[in-house]
């Protein structure tokens, strides 16, 4: 469905020293630097897959997504999406893709969301019957019936995101690019949205590519992940393997009732951060249950917090291996 080979994208940015004098200097004499946002990336994705792009800010996730959707021309390399070259932006291609960006909106700000849906219907030439049916399904899936007739600017962030999704999916795109769709949403809304993405994928056998820097999004949705940092693909494969290989440890943070000596704690596992009242350990996934119960019974624990390794650490692991 999607094949990209040796894609690179270079941006030209000019740099200047701060201050007014340097502003004037920069008017006449600029130093340009080439920033390689994406370097020699290759992968292919099959129909119906949900693939997660993960990586820290500035890793090149969004740039890759924009090249896949046809907004940006790659500096070199070839892209093929469903037989089309995205940057030609031919009508057939544009009708089968959709791009949703968590931080930008396409809803008409002063009108009810349903007006944007109608506009989309006209732009994408969806028939009346098809539009009604799609709208019905999407509204039910997202539980959005109450607020699609309200002015967009009066909607909450979560409601707005739901409407953005309806607008983006009303014409049944076969390929959906989601750029940080859950950003800024609370935990409940994030869960809802993830469930919806799963359902949409199942119902229409749509190919979905999602970027996120929340591990939760990826864990719940994607069997396959592509880890990108500084424009380079560090890992491409099953999420389970990624977690097994690179995030084999979980962290447990204990808050103590009274101060503890470091020496008394070291026997439980490797210490990530030590503080007499609050210490974080790194414990192998398989050991966690046993170690945690041991800690709870032997130590004066006030509070306990078990967490996945932060995604930044997983990525650091991925790239430190290389």
Partner 1 sequence: MLQTSMQYRFSFFIELFIEIGYIAWTLAFIYVVFGNITEVGGWNYHEMLVLIGVFTIFSETIMGLFFIWNLRLLPEKIKNGTIDFTLLKPINSQFILTAGNTYISSFFATIPGMFLIWYGISNLEFTFSVVNSIAALIVFICGVIIIYAIMTIISSLAFVLTNAQGLPRLVVDLYQFGQYPPTIYKNIPKFIFTFIFPVVFIAGIPSDIFLHGLNIPNVLLSIVVAIAFLYGSIWVWKQMISHYSSASS
Binding site for partner 1 (CB under 8 A): 11, 62, 66, 69-73, 87, 89, 91, 94-95, 97, 99, 101-104, 106, 123-125, 179-180
- For partner 1, give the closer residue by CB, 82 or 299: 82
**Shortest Cβ 98–partner 1 spacing (Å):** 8
252 forms bridges with which residues in the sheet?
281, 306
97 forms bridges with which residues in the sheet?
175
**Residue indicated by tokens 């007014």:** 20
Contact between 55 and 228 (Cβ < 8 Å): yes
Token duo for residue 135: 């709208």
**Shortest Cβ 102–partner 1 spacing (Å):** 8
103 forms bridges with which residues in the sheet?
none
**Shortest Cβ 179–partner 1 spacing (Å):** 6
**Residue indicated by tokens 């940057």:** 87
Token duo for residue 173: 């795109």
- For partner 1, give the closer residue by CB, 73 or 156: 73
Strand arrangement, sheet containing 175-179? 97-101, 175-179, 207-212, 50-54, 224-229, 232-238
- For partner 1, give the closer residue by CB, 103 or 297: 103
Give alpha helix (H) positions in 108-214. 113-123, 128-142, 157-169, 187-204
**Shortest Cβ 58–partner 1 spacing (Å):** 8
Contact between 24 and 182 (Cβ < 8 Å): no
Q: How many residues does the chain have?
A: 322
- For partner 1, give the closer residue by CB, 10 or 80: 10
Cα–Cα distances in Å, from 294 out to 48, 178, 225, 253, 269? 44, 43, 35, 14, 11
**Shortest Cβ 224–partner 1 spacing (Å):** 23
**Shortest Cβ 259–partner 1 spacing (Å):** 46
- For partner 1, give the closer residue by CB, 100 or 135: 100
**Shortest Cβ 63–partner 1 spacing (Å):** 8
- For partner 1, give the closer residue by CB, 172 or 279: 172
- For partner 1, give the closer residue by CB, 98 or 190: 98
- For partner 1, give the closer residue by CB, 214 or 274: 214
- DSSP sequence for 250-295: EEEEEEESS---HHHHGGGSEEEE--TTEEEEEEEGGGHHHHHHHH
C-alpha 166: how far from chain center: 19
DSSP one-letter code for 317? H
Beta-carbon contacts of 174 under 8 Å, excluding residues fewer than 6 positions away, are 47, 82, 96, 97, 204, 206, 207
**Shortest Cβ 158–partner 1 spacing (Å):** 19
**Shortest Cβ 70–partner 1 spacing (Å):** 7
- For partner 1, give the closer residue by CB, 22 or 293: 22
């Amino acid at each position: 469905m999607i094949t990209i080979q040796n894609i690179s994208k270079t941006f030209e940015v000019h740099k200047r020293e701060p201050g007014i004098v340097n502003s004037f200097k920069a008017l006449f004499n600029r130093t340009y630097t080439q920033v390689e946002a994406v370097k020699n990336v290759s992968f292919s994705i099959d129909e119906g897959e949900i693939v997660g792009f993960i990586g820290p800010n500035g890793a090149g996730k969004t740039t890759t997504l924009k090249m896949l959707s046809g907004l940006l021309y790659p500096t070199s390399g070839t892209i093929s999406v469903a037989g089309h070259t995205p940057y030609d932006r031919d009508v057939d291609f544009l009708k089968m893709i959709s791009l949703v960006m968590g931080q930008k909106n396409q809803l008409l700000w002063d009108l009810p969301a349903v007006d944007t849906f109608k506009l989309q219907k006209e732009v994408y030439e969806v028939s009346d019957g098809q539009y009604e049916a799609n709208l019905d399904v999407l509204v039910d899936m997202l539980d959005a019936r109450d607020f699609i007739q309200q002015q967009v600017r009066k909607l909450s962030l979560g409601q707005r995101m739901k409407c953005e999704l309806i607008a983006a999916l009303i014409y049944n795109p076969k390929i959906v690019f989601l750029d940080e769709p859950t950003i800024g949403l609370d935990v409940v809304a994030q869960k809802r949205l993830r469930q919806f993405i799963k359902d949409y994928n199942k119902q229409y056998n749509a190919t979905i590519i999602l970027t996120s820097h929340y591990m939760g999004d990826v864990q719940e949705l994607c069997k396959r992940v592509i880890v990108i940092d500084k424009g380079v693909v560090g890992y491409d494969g099953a999420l389970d393997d990624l977690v097994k290989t690179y995030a084999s440890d979980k962290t447990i943070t204990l808050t103590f009732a009274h101060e503890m000596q470091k020496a008394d704690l070291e026997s439980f596992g490797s210490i990530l951060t030590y503080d007499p009242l609050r210490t974080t350990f790194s414990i192998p996934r398989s050991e966690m249950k046993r170690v945690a119960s041991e800690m709870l019974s032997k130590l004066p624990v006030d509070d306990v917090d078990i967490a996945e390794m932060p995604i930044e650490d997983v990525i650091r692991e991925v790239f430190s291996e290389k």
